[in-house]
Each structure stands twice: as structure tokens, then as C-alpha cells.
Amino acid sequence: MSPAWISSARAWALGAVLVVAACKPSDGTGPTTPYKPPPGVDLKDPEAAITGIAGFEATWTSPAIRSSTGLASVVLVPAGTAPARAPQCGAGPAAAPMFSPLGVIPDSDFGRIFVYDSVTAKFVAGPTSGGPAGGVEFVLPAVDSLNGVLRPLQTVGTLDLFDVSPPGGPLTLHTVITGTPGNESADYAVSDTGTTTGYAGVLAGRLAGAGRTFTFVDSLSGVYQQLKANATVSDSGLGAQMRLLATRTQSDPFDYFYDLDFTFTSSGQRVRLLGNITVYCLIPSIGLTVTVNDSDFAIVNSGSAGPVITALSDSVLTPAQDSAIRALIRGQNEMFSWLTSLAQPTRQFLP
């Protein structure tokens, strides 16, 4: 084999390697073309999202509903809490109690009314009669936008709690909220299985107020500091629907990770937010993609003064489009928080 042939072969092989390497997409040696939405992709009806979220907020922040979600962590029935049974040394974990109809609220509490106590910042046992038969009632005080109870106390409604767990089935509580003197109301049930540190359940029902009615269902779960939601909220008045898949992991009081997939659907338009929000030392970092009818439309990143929304086309977002996307970001966060709060009182009875 002649040296000249070997040299030619080596040159050919080297050239082939260089050609293949030059064709690798990751090298980026050629000109790049920025993404542009297909023709016709536009957020043509931003008002649908703006008014849809505004109506959602008005209903869910009506006084009685605001009080029930803001005070969810203290809506407790102390006498009805299932006692913890410590396992014997060397034994396995304690068996979960078997729940039965009307089994977690003691008979002695049926008809009892619980009232808010400003000194302890909790609900305490009040009158032993006057509440619902087969359940208990909480008198709801007004709260501010930060869920602080207003003083002097102002009654804005009642929350009635019933145990409707089927024999041998999951713990199921039925809640009825009635506003006073407003016209807001809620009627929903929560079914939970597991323990207070690892549970899964379903929240479903109806909520009305501010002239609107919403139906909702949420398949929720939690493991220690991680909460997951798979929720749908429908506005019967406008025909709009919100769908949220989200996971929030709270590492400490100042930091958490939040992954979301949120879709707002109205007549002829479907707007989706997909990405994550990471909070470090209470400062959020946002990375979201906004799609309209399944085509990329804009991206959302963090700026020094809050979210920065950038269109993925040559045009600039209109003020209405910018406001609509900001409303959707705010609304999905409220949806996650409020639905989680509605389900919270049920977990007090888990072992």
C-alpha cells in the first residue's frame, strides 16, 4: 500500500469528520433563525382573560369565602380530632382508624357552634345548640387581604361541617358556607385518604358570589412540604374554564419551587402558561412560555420590577395583551392557594 494512497485516505477521513462535525445542530456554526409564531397567531381577545380572572377574584374574595380560605388552618374541631396512638417499641406504625358515617365529629358536638376567639386566634367551642343537625358550625369573622382578622370582630357568614364518610370508605367531609348578609355561598365535599404527612384526595363542589357561579374539582395530594393540584374551575356565566396542573415544594418559609401548566379557555381562544416560578429569599424568578391556541406567543421572565413579558414576533404586545397575561399569572396562583385552603380543614381528622 503506497504512502500516497494512505495520505489520501487520511485526508478523506479527516474531511468527512469535519463535515459531520459542522452539521451538528449544537455547534451553531450556521446562521440562526429566531422563532416566529405562525401567521395569524395572536392574543385577539385579551379582555376575555382580564374579565374572566376579575370575576373569579371578585367571587372568591367575597367576605365569607375570603374568611373561610384565610382561616382554613384554624377551622378545627378539637374534640373531634382523631387521637394519635403511639406504636409499641419494635412494633410497626399505628394502624389508621376506621372512619364511619358521622364518626369523626363526636355526637356530643352535633349542633355546636364554634366562635372565633381574638385572644387565642382560634375557634373555640361556643353554644351547644343552634348549629346544624348532624354537624358543627363555625361563625366566620371578616378578614383583610392578608387574612388578618379585623377588629372589632365582624360576622360575615357561617361554615357548616358534616361528616359523610361511607362505611369503610375514605374520610369525606361536606362543607356549606353561607354569607351574611351577602349572597355568597359554597357547597363542596372533600374526600381524603392517607395521613397528615402523606395524603391524596378529591375536592369538588360549587361556589357563588358577586353575581357569578363557579364549579370546581381538584385531585390533590401532599407529601410533607410538597403539594400537587390537578384542578379545573368553570365559570357558568361566561363559559370560561381554567385548568391547572401544579406542584409546589416549600423548602423553608422563604424558598419554594413551583411548576405550573395553566390553561384559560374562552370562546375561540385557549391561552396556556407553562413553566416554573422559583422563589429564593422571597424573591421570585419566573420562566414561562405563553401559547395561544397551541402556538408559542410570548415568554415571561423576571425583571427588576416584576415579570417581563416579551412577544415572540416582530410586533410589541398591546397594553391589553400584557394585562391579560399578568392577570392569568396572578389568577393561577390564587386558584392553587384557594383550592388548597378549601381542602385544608379535612386533614385535621387524618391520623
pLDDT, residue 36, reads 58
The mean pLDDT value for 30-37 works out to 51
The mean pLDDT value for 273-296 works out to 93
Residue 83 has pLDDT above 70, yes or no: no
C-alpha 28 chain-centroid distance: 40
pLDDT per position as a tens digit, 99-111:
334 357 888 889 9
List of residues 6+ apart from 160 with CB closer than 8 A: 131, 132, 135, 136, 137, 138, 175, 176, 177, 178
Binned at pLDDT 50, 70 and 90, residue 178 comes out as: very high
pLDDT, residue 248, reads 95
pLDDT, residue 22, reads 40
Half-sphere exposure of 148 (CA within 13 A, CB side): 4
Residue 19 has pLDDT above 50, yes or no: no
Q: CA 109, 115, 117, 120 torsion: positive or negative?
A: positive
Residue 69 has pLDDT above 70, yes or no: yes
Residue 286 has pLDDT above 70, yes or no: yes
pLDDT per position as a tens digit, 179-190:
988 889 999 999
pLDDT per position as a tens digit, 217-265:
999 999 989 999 999 999 987 889 999 999 999 988 899 999 999 999 9
The mean of the pLDDT values for the chain is 83
The mean pLDDT value for 81-86 works out to 35
**What residue ranges do the domains of the chain occupy?**
42-62+223-344
- Helix then strand then coil, in percent of the chain rounded to 5, is 25, 40, 35
pLDDT, residue 38, reads 58
pLDDT per position as a tens digit, 189-223:
999 998 888 999 999 999 999 889 999 999 999 99
List of residues 6+ apart from 70 with CB closer than 8 A: 143, 147, 341
pLDDT per position as a tens digit, 303-330:
888 899 999 977 789 999 999 999 999 9
List of residues 6+ apart from 349 with CB closer than 8 A: 80, 81, 82, 99, 104, 171, 173
Give the number of residues written for the chain: 351
Out of 169-173, 224-228, 345-349, which region has the weakest mean confidence (pLDDT)?
A: 345-349
For 93, the 3-state DSSP assignment is coil
CA distance 215 to 217: 7
Grid coordinates in use for 101? 358515617
Binned at pLDDT 50, 70 and 90, residue 90 comes out as: very low
pLDDT, residue 77, reads 81
Binned at pLDDT 50, 70 and 90, residue 39 comes out as: low
pLDDT, residue 108, reads 84
The mean pLDDT value for 59-76 works out to 92
